[in-house]
């Protein structure tokens, strides 16, 4: 069930809220657990058992870790938990990929299974792993109530698409969170803003990306339009979903950390990835990069650590070589920035820095968006004018006119400009009294526009369900 669906917005969510706020505090976690499992069951009836099994595994292992803290049994329990979680993820997500590549490399005939990927398995597996690791490190106490841990792992606002919420971030709020009108109002506002980014911006600009991929007669301009459209689509798609998750969490009293911070204003690739999918980047930093030695090693080992982390980051996104190449590319770019490129960028003017980042990101997303590396490279060649295609075509002009306004709105929306204008108006005395009323009207207008779109439209994908 998509957050950006009529069934979720007008049926599932109101029912959850009605029951949740009707029951006493002692039953609120139970209500969230039941509805979260129902939410997952409606999308994955069979694989719900995996979610429950993962909860039981990490609950039992964390208790052993805490009981034998600092001893060999604690270490064995940690290793066991990691192996079980990684094995489940690896089996469902990477078995066919491994089998196909072994068959090609060794001439074997290992059969593939063509299993559907359980929704959100990459997200909730990383959450459960971070929980047991933090308990082992002494950074979190083991949850004594399996219902509390089950609620944390299955919590529907962040279950299938993140952000990756670490247990220690909301541990106190599992049993002692605050419900208030301010939290509820902020949560509703944040949810509707994220919903609008997803539906009104990502879906609309995503239509152009899909159209470009299907137009038989390409041109250089058309390929650039498609690449930029996809880069904007995936940003508004995923950041919109993160906003919705953060908003839903706040409604129920949880404070999830931010997952995006205007990445397209970055001045280096390193900065871009500190602003994009922050929860994933910080997960790899804290549980892989730093334990390997991080950047406190010599240049060669630091580069090795970065390449390994980004190899895993690419592989996390999907069992396909295009994701691996995409990840290794960024590992190499960031290693180069740490070694020498960063010093050159420091001396460059800001427009050049932004151009460097934006071109790199747009090119990288071409590889990211094509399952075939050959197809992605072919598109890149076309964008650079290396194919026998025209510079401009009538199709490109037509779609540029049709989506020109949406391009401008999306580009402006990917920067903090509107937020800065809003905060400036808020700070001026003459606007302080009318801003809250205007904001409320704007939020509900957005909700009406989204509802109209969802009722009438059939194009409503979510890119990160693939991962």
Catalytic residue among 317, 354, 370, 423: 317
Helices and strands (H, E) in the chain, number of each type = 21, 0
The residue behind tokens 């929704």 is 119
Query: Are 384 and 207 spatial neighbours (Cβ–Cβ below 8 Å)?
Result: no
**How far is the C-alpha of 452 from the C-alpha of 448, rounded, in Å?**
6
Interhelix angle 48-67/121-137, nearest 10 degrees: 10
Tokens of 230: 């996809």
Are the CB atoms for 366 and 375 separated by under 8 Å?
no
CA distance 263 to 259: 10
Q: How far apart are the first and last CA of the chain?
A: 16
| CA–CA separation, 381 and 361 (whole Å) | 16
Please give the Cα distance from 74 to 80 (Å, whole number): 10
Dist CA 121 CA 316 (whole Å): 10
Cis peptide before 163 (omega within 30 of 0): yes
Q: Are 438 and 185 spatial neighbours (Cβ–Cβ below 8 Å)?
A: no
Whole-number Å distance between alpha carbons of 273 and 291 = 19
354 as an active site residue: the answer is: no
Instruction: Report d(CA 236, CA 212) in Å as an integer.
Output: 19
3-state secondary structure at position 208: helix
Residues assigned a catalytic role: 317
């Amino acid at each position: 069930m998509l957050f950006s669906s009529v069934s979720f917005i007008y049926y599932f969510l109101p029912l959850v809220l009605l029951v949740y706020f009707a029951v006493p505090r002692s039953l609120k976690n139970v209500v969230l657990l039941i509805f979260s499992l129902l939410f997952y069951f409606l999308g994955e009836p069979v694989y719900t058992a995996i979610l429950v099994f993962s909860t039981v595994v990490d609950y039992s292992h964390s208790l052993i870790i805490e009981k034998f803290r600092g001893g060999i049994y604690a270490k064995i329990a940690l290793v066991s938990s990691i192996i079980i979680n990684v094995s489940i993820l690896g089996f469902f997500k990477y078995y066919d990929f491994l089998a196909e590549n072994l068959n090609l490399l060794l001439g074997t005939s290992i059969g593939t299974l063509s299993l559907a990927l359980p929704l959100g398995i990459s997200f909730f597996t990383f959450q459960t792993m971070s929980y047991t690791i933090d308990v082992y490190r002494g950074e979190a106490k083991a949850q004594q109530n399996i219902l509390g841990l089950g609620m944390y792992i299955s919590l529907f606002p962040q279950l299938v698409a993140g952000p990756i919420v670490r247990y220690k971030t909301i541990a106190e709020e599992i049993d002692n969170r605050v419900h208030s009108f301010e939290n509820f109002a902020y949560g509703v506002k944040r949810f509707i803003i994220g919903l609008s980014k997803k539906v009104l911006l990502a879906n609309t600009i995503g239509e152009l990306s899909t159209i470009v991929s299907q137009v038989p007669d390409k041109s250089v301009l058309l390929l650039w339009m498609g690449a930029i459209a996809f880069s904007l689509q995936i940003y508004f798609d995923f950041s919109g979903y993160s906003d919705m998750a953060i908003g839903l969490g706040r409604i129920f009293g949880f404070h999830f950390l931010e997952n995006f911070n205007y990445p397209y204003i970055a001045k280096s690739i390193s900065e871009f990835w500190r602003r994009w999918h922050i929860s994933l980047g910080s997960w790899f930093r804290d549980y892989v990069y730093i334990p390997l030695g991080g950047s406190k090693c010599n240049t060669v080992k630091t580069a090795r650590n970065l390449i390994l982390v980004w190899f895993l980051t690419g592989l996390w996104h999907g069992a396909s070589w295009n994701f691996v190449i995409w990840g290794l590319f960024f590992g190499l770019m960031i290693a180069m920035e740490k070694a020498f490129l960063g010093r050159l960028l420091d001396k460059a003017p800001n427009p050049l820095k932004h151009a460097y980042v934006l071109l790199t990101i747009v090119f990288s997303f071409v590889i990211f968006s094509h399952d075939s590396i050959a197809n992605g490279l072919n598109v890149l060649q076309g964008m650079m004018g290396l194919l026998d295609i025209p510079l401009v075509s009538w199709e490109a002009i037509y779609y540029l006119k049709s989506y020109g306004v949406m391009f401008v709105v999306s580009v402006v929306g990917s920067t903090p400009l509107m937020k800065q204008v809003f905060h400036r108006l808020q700070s001026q005395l003459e606007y302080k009294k009318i801003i809250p009323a205007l904001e409320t009207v704007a939020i509900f207008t957005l909700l009406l526009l989204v509802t109209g779109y969802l009722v009438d439209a059939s194009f409503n994908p979510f890119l990160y369900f693939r991962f």
